[in-house]
Amino acid sequence: MSLRLALMIVPADAEDERDEFSDTFTVVDASAPALSVGELSTQRGDGVFESIGVVDGHAQELEPHLRRLAHSARLCDLPAPNLAQWRQAIVVAASECPPGEAVIKLILSRGVEHGPTPTAWVTAASAADFTAVRHDGVRVVTLDRGYDLGAGERAPWLLLGAKTLSYAVNMAALREAKRRGAEDAIFVTSDGFVLEAPTASLILRFGGRFITTAPSAGILHGTTQLSVYEHLEAQGFACEYATIAASALTTADAAWLVSSVRLAVPITAVDGTPVATDPALTANINRYLLSPR
């Protein structure tokens, strides 16, 4: 997945009400080094990011992604991002995206140690082809995240609701899932409740009711889950946030992992036990997620 564009940004103050920020962007050679070795993003994973799906040059769910970037920055005590500036940078990046599916990443790092400002950049790249997995689904294993259900609220310094650059644990969970013969994982709390996947939210269907984990459990509030809920509610389905026991996973009438670039992927088995799927609804949801939003 080679980068099509890399844009370094001089972050503007959130209060800066300029109409035009293009003089704060510099297009850099995406294959050349661009960061200082003193960068805290690389030394400590200290920063936040967003991955935005792009379909035919249209950045999907732009405002929810910008809101979450600001939320993650707040949780990490980073300066509030100037959202008008980021919006303009995304427009530039989207204009470089090829037809079909692509991904734009926004990165806001704490910057160089003792440096004056955060470091910020945007990249655009073609997306991998997820057509097959959206149809065929994934087998998942449940993995203990090591925290109980109250950890997110009791210990905000764990940053459980922020999309931070520290994804080494999430990547390790995916490797463990593969070692156990699955393609993905679902984190569960130490007291037996369902959280999220390492790079996706979870949605379960029980009859005409849809359930996802309440963000207060210390998970990322997914922009795709929000969008899917809007779509399902428009069709008259009941959509809820709840505390979900891990034992509910295999009794669902259907279950999906949903995220901005891979979109909705049906879960076909949990810890080796088959889970029912709903191919028609999966196709319906993915058609919606690929339409301009």
Least distance CB 20 / ligand PLP (angstroms): 29
**Cβ nearer to ligand PLP, comparing 72 with 199:** 199
**Cβ nearer to ligand PLP, comparing 118 with 222:** 222
Q: Are 232 and 256 in contact (CB under 8 A)?
A: no
**Cβ nearer to ligand PLP, comparing 28 with 167:** 167
The 10 Å CB-count burial string (b at 16+, else e) for 127-148 is: beebeebbeebbbbbbbebebe
Residues that bind ligand PLP (CB under 6 A): 51, 196, 198-201, 220, 222-225, 258-260
Least distance CB 200 / ligand PLP (angstroms): 5
**Cβ nearer to ligand PLP, comparing 58 with 115:** 58
Least distance CB 258 / ligand PLP (angstroms): 6
The residue type at 146: G
**Number of residues written out for the chain:** 293
Least distance CB 167 / ligand PLP (angstroms): 7
144: CB partners within 8 A, 6+ apart: 187, 188, 189, 190
**Cβ nearer to ligand PLP, comparing 11 with 198:** 198
CA distance 206 to 210: 6
Least distance CB 53 / ligand PLP (angstroms): 8
User: What are the Cα distances from residue 215, in Å, to 34, 161, 221, 256, 267?
Assistant: 35, 7, 6, 17, 21
